[in-house]
């Protein structure tokens, strides 16, 4: 099976640097809507048999242009949501952002039993994302688009896919409407086909002024989680 895993478009929380992970979440900005429209155009040559989104409004808004173009109805699946921020929810101060990023880094370093303060462990996050992807695989599509979230996508993909020499470290930015493509299944494993960290509609659709902590898992600005 082919999985196209796309991060949602820019939201108002991405611009302000707030850790927005709770339901329903903030809307897309005007730029985010332009990113979603551009993504639909960029995906025109891709086979997509079904579209899945999380319960957060930003994933619905991002998926809609692609769904409209193809006459598909996005399916909401619990489990595809962003890694819960817990005690850091809607905070944008340095300590809160560093606490969130540091917790994800702990998972990526192998300690999946560590709990995000006030929220889930790495094991709990991976279990609920796995359940959602297994449901998608059970749909027996040849190819499906999943619109999800930055930290969630990098953590799940980096943990579940077969190591690939061209895969960037999970610390590298995954910008709004970036796209990771995998092929395989849970038995044979997931192989990386491509990893585009910039918007699929083009780098001109990026906003270098946005704080966006879940898009850039780097609390120090030096390319390393810390």
pLDDT digits (tens, 9 = 90+) for 142-182: 999 999 999 999 999 999 999 999 999 988 899 999 999 99
Which is nearest to 55 in space by CA: 75, 36, 84? 75
Which is nearest to 66 in space by CA: 8, 113, 106? 8
Of 24-33, 40-49, 180-189, 210-219, the poorest mean pLDDT is in: 210-219
The full DSSP string for 150-199 is: HHHHHHHHHHHBPP-TTPPPTTS---TT-EEEEEEETTTEEEEEEEE-S-
Q: What is the pLDDT of residue 210?
A: 95
For the chain, what are the domain ranges?
2-205
129-136 mean pLDDT: 98
Q: Which CATH superfamily groups domain 2-205? A: Phosphoglycerate mutase-like (3.40.50.1240)
Q: What is the pLDDT of residue 222?
A: 38
Residue 88, pLDDT > 90, answer yes
Threshold 0.75, pTM exceeds: yes
Report how far residue 88's alpha carbon sits from residue 17's, in angstroms, rounded to the nearest whole number.
12
Catalytic residues: 8, 82
Report how far residue 63's alpha carbon sits from residue 179's, in angstroms, rounded to the nearest whole number.
13
57-84 mean pLDDT: 98
């Amino acid at each position: 099976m082919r999985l196209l895993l796309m991060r949602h478009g820019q939201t108002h929380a991405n611009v302000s640097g707030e850790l927005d992970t709770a339901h329903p979440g903030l809307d897309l900005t005007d730029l985010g809507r332009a990113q979603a429209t551009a993504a639909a155009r960029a995906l025109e040559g891709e086979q997509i048999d079904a579209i899945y989104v999380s319960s957060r409004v930003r994933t619905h808004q991002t998926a809609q242009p692609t769904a409209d173009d193809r006459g598909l109805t996005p399916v909401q699946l619990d489990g595809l949501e962003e890694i819960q921020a817990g005690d850091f929810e809607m905070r944008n101060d340095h300590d809160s952002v560093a606490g969130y990023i540091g917790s994800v880094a702990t998972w990526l370093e192998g300690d999946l039993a560590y709990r995000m303060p006030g929220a889930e462990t790495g094991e709990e996050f991976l279990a609920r994302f796995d359940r959602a992807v297994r449901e998608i695989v059970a749909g027996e599509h040849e190819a499906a688009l999943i619109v999800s979230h930055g930290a969630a996508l990098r953590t799940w993909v980096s943990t579940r896919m077969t190591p690939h020499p061209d895969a960037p470290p999970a610390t590298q930015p995954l910008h709004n409407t970036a796209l990771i493509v995998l092929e395989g299944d849970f038995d044979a494993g997931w192989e990386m086909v491509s990893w585009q960290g910039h918007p699929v509609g083009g780098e001109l659709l990026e906003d270098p002024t946005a704080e966006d902590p879940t898009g850039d898992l780097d609390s120090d600005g030096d390319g390393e989680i810390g």
